[in-house]
Chains A and B, each alone.
Chain A
C-alpha cells in the first residue's frame, strides 16, 4: 500500500479531534494542556504532509514556527498550573469557578 497525503490527513484529523475532545472533557489541567498540544501538532502534521505532497518548503518552515509558538504557550501554561497548585493544592479544572456572574 502506498501511503499518500490522504492517510496523513486522516491521521491529523483524528489527532485534532482527539485533542478537541480532550480539551473539552478532561478534568485535569495538565491533560488539558497536553490535548492542546495534540491539536497544534495535528496541524503541524498536516503542514508537513502537504509540504511533502506539494514539494514546497513553506509548510515545513511553518511547522517549525508553530512548534516554537507551542513551546512558548505550554511554558506559560505550566507556570499557571504551578501557580494554581500553590493556591489550591489540586489540578482539578473544577476549582476554576471563582469567576461567575
Chain B
C-alpha cells in the first residue's frame, strides 16, 4: 500500500476521524478546565457529532473503497452511520442532565460514547476480518467501561464486569472462528473467502459456526441472550439506551455484511437455523418482559424481542427477498428513535441519584407532567407497533417481507408476539395515567426535554409520512445487494 493510497483513504474516513479527534480533545481539555465549566465541553461533543454527520452525507451517494479494500464506504455503511450518529447524538444530549443527577463525571463519558460510535462506524464499513474484529473491540471495550461507569453503584460495576467477561468470551469465540477461516482460505477478505469457500472442509464450517455465534451474542438473540437483562438493568440509563440501539444496530450491520457478502450464501440450512433463532428470540423476549417488576429490565427483554423481529427480515433476505434487507435496515432505524426515547423519558424522571426504575416510579405521571406522559405513551405505542407511529410501519414491513418470502409461520409468530408485547407496554401507561401513589418528579430539564421532544416528533412524523425515510432504506439495500 503506497503513501498516496493511505492519504486518499484517510481523507475518505472523515466521519470516524472527526469523532475520534473530538474524543481526544475532550480527554486532553478535561483536566485543563476547572470546576463547573467542565460541563461546557458538552458543546464540543455536539459539534463533533454534527461534523461527522455532515461528512457522512457524502457516503450516501458515492461508493468508495479505502485501505486496499479493507473498508467499503458504500450507501449501506452510510445508512448505518446515520443510525449510529443519531443514537449517540441523542444519548449525549439526554446524558447531560442525567450525569449531573447521578453525580457522574461527564467528559470521559462523552469521549467513550464517541470512541464507541467510531468503532461501530468502522464495523459498518468493514470488509475484512481484521477491521471487523478491531471495530467490534473498539465498540465493545468502550461500552464495557460505560456500563460500569457509575463506580459508586455496585449494580453498575457488576454490570460492567459481567459484560466484560461475557463480551470477552464472545470476542474470543469470534477470534477463534476467524483464525480457522483464515487457516482454511489463507485470506481475511470476505469476497476472497467467498470464492474459496468449500462446504466439505471442516475448518470452514467450524470457523463460520464460531463467527456466527459471536455475532448472535452481540445481537443478544436466543440462545445467547441471558446477559442482556442483567447488563441493561445495571448500566446507567442513558448508556442502556445507547447500547440497545447503537451496539445492536452495529452487530446487525456486520451480521448482514458477513451473511450476504461473505461465506454463508451457499448454506441453505442456515436459513432454518436463523428462522428458529428469530422465532425463539421474539417469544422468549416477550415472555420474559411480562413478568418483570422493573421498567428498565422490561425494556431489556423487549429489546431482545425486537432483535427477533429484525431477524425476521434477515431470514427473508437470505431467501432472496430484496425487501427483506430494506425492512431490517428500516426496523433498526425506527427502533433507534422509539427505544432511545423510552429510555430518555426514564432518564428524565431519574432524580437525586436514584433511577426511575420500577413501575411505581411513574405512577401519577399524567397528572403532574402531562407532556412527558404523552411522550412516553407515544414511544411505548411505537414499541408495541401501534399506528400511526414509526414502529407500526417498521413492523409492517418486516412481517410483509416474511410473507413475501413464504415464511407465513414466522410472520404469524411475529404478529402474535407483538400482540403479547402490547400488554406489558401498556401496563406502564396504566401506572402512568391511573397510578395514585405519591411520587416526586424532578424539575424541568431543558436539554433532555429537547431531545425527548425531537424524538417524539420523529416517531410520529416518520410514522405518518414514512415514505421518504423508507426510500432511503431501499436505496441503502439496493446498493448492497449484488443485482
B151 interface residue per 8 A CB criterion: yes
Interface locus among B93-101, B141-149, B440-448: B141-149
Contact between chains at A43 and B175 (CB < 8 Å): yes
Q: Which of chain A's residues 58-75 have a Cβ closer than 8 Å to chain B?
A: 58-59, 61-62, 65-66, 69, 72-73
B160 interface residue per 8 A CB criterion: yes
Give the residue of A29, A49, A66, A77 whose beta carbon is less than 8 angstroms from that of B175. A66
B48 interface residue per 8 A CB criterion: no
Q: Which residues of A contact B160 (CB under 8 A)?
A: 80, 83
Q: Which residues of B contact A29 (CB under 8 A)?
A: 161
A88 interface residue per 8 A CB criterion: yes
* Chain B residue at smallest Cβ distance from A47: B179
* Chain A residue at smallest Cβ distance from B298: A101
Given contacts A40-B175, A98-B158, A101-B297, contact A73 B180 (CB under 8 A): no
* Chain A residue at smallest Cβ distance from B173: A39
Q: In the complex, what's the smallest C-beta–C-beta distance from A53 to chain B, in angstroms?
A: 8
B355 interface residue per 8 A CB criterion: no
Given contacts A16-B176, A76-B141, contact A69 B134 (CB under 8 A): yes
| Alpha-carbon gap, A32 to B187, bound state (A) | 32
Q: Which of chain A's residues 40-64 have a Cβ closer than 8 Å to chain B?
A: 40, 42-44, 46-47, 49-50, 53-54, 56, 58-59, 61-62
Q: In the complex, what's the smallest C-beta–C-beta distance from B189 to chain A, in angstroms?
A: 9
Given contacts A80-B157, A99-B234, contact A46 B133 (CB under 8 A): no
Q: In the complex, what's the smallest C-beta–C-beta distance from B135 to chain A, in angstroms?
A: 11
* Chain B residue at smallest Cβ distance from A33: B165
Contact between chains at B158 and A84 (CB < 8 Å): yes
Interface centre among A46, A61, A84, A99 (most CB of B within 10 A): A99
| Alpha-carbon gap, A61 to B134, bound state (A) | 12
Contact pattern, A 12-55, Cβ under 8 Å of B = 1, otherwise 0: 10001001100100000100110010011011101101100110
Given contacts A43-B175, A46-B176, contact A69 B133 (CB under 8 A): yes
| Alpha-carbon gap, A5 to B179, bound state (A) | 13
Q: Which residues of B contact A59 (CB under 8 A)?
A: 179, 182-183
| Alpha-carbon gap, A98 to B156, bound state (A) | 10
Contact between chains at A77 and B168 (CB < 8 Å): yes
B271 interface residue per 8 A CB criterion: no
Q: Which of chain B's residues 164-210 have a Cβ closer than 8 Å to chain A?
A: 164-165, 168-169, 171-173, 175-176, 178-180, 182-183, 186-188
Contact between chains at A42 and B176 (CB < 8 Å): yes
Given contacts A39-B176, A62-B188, A98-B154, contact A54 B161 (CB under 8 A): no
Contact between chains at A87 and B157 (CB < 8 Å): yes
Give the residue of A12, A32, A99 whose beta carbon is less than 8 angstroms from that of B159. A99
Q: Which residues of B contact A19 (CB under 8 A)?
A: 172
A96 interface residue per 8 A CB criterion: yes
Given contacts A46-B183, A50-B182, A62-B182, contact A101 B161 (CB under 8 A): no
B361 interface residue per 8 A CB criterion: no
Q: Which residues of A contact B180 (CB under 8 A)?
A: 46
B155 interface residue per 8 A CB criterion: yes
Q: In the complex, what's the smallest C-beta–C-beta distance from B57 to chain A, in angstroms?
A: 31
Q: In the complex, what's the smallest C-beta–C-beta distance from B147 to chain A, in angstroms?
A: 10
Contact between chains at B182 and A77 (CB < 8 Å): no
B108 interface residue per 8 A CB criterion: no
Contact between chains at B133 and A66 (CB < 8 Å): yes
B268 interface residue per 8 A CB criterion: no
Contact between chains at A77 and B130 (CB < 8 Å): no
Contact between chains at B141 and A73 (CB < 8 Å): yes
Contact between chains at B148 and A77 (CB < 8 Å): no
9 more contacts with CB within 8 A, not counting A62-B129, A76-B141, A99-B162, are A39-B173, A40-B175, A58-B130, A59-B182, A65-B130, A83-B160, A84-B161, A99-B233, A101-B291
A-B pairs, top 9 by smallest CB distance, nearest first, are A50-B183, A39-B172, A46-B179, A80-B161, A43-B175, A99-B230, A43-B176, A69-B137, A36-B168
Give the B-binding residues of A (Cβ under 8 A): 5, 9, 12, 16, 19-20, 23, 29, 32-33, 36, 39-40, 42-44, 46-47, 49-50, 53-54, 56, 58-59, 61-62, 65-66, 69, 72-73, 76-77, 80-81, 83-84, 87-88, 96, 98-101
Give the A-binding residues of B (Cβ under 8 A): 129-130, 133-134, 137, 141, 144-145, 148, 151, 154-155, 157-162, 164-165, 168-169, 171-173, 175-176, 178-180, 182-183, 186-188, 229-231, 233-234, 288, 291-294, 297
- In the assembled complex, 12 residue pairs joining A and B whose CB atoms fall closer than 8 Å, in A order, are A36-B168, A39-B176, A43-B178, A46-B180, A49-B183, A50-B182, A65-B130, A69-B171, A77-B168, A99-B159, A101-B229, A101-B293
